[in-house]
Amino acid sequence: DAGVIQSPRHEVTEMGQEVTLRCKPISGHDYLFWYRQTMMRGLELLIYFNNNVPIDDSGMPEDRFSAKMPNASFSTLKIQPSEPRDSAVYFCASTGQGDYEQYFGPGTRLTVT
């Protein structure tokens, strides 16, 4: 298995632009998680899905952030409009039913100027 796949790996954009991050979970995993990591705040859970349904989005910072999972093999995290304070590494992770280990993708390093 290729593991969790994320794209792009790096994204540099200007303030106000829309940013879309993509994730392909490990095949067969029922849960998908989006995290954001910064030096100041550490690794924060933004939202997670179970069987493509959003379960908890309480970590989504504000309405500028949205996430979708149209099918079991694909999810997006969108920021519109982006702001410099959104600069961070965004990780996607997946896990299977009854499995506590989370498998992380390589992350997307986002810089908003």
Q: Which positions touch another protein (CB under 8 A)?
A: 31, 35, 41-43, 45, 48, 50, 55-56, 91, 95, 100-102, 104-107
CB 18 within 8 A of CB 81: yes
Nearest approach, Cβ of 112 to another protein (angstroms)?
19
Q: Which is nearer to another protein, 17 or 50 (CB)?
A: 50
Contacts of 89 (CB under 8 A, 6+ apart): 36, 37, 38, 107, 108, 109, 110
CB 102 within 8 A of CB 48: no
Q: Which is nearer to another protein, 41 or 62 (CB)?
A: 41
Nearest approach, Cβ of 16 to another protein (angstroms)?
27
DSSP designation for 25: P
Nearest approach, Cβ of 100 to another protein (angstroms)?
5
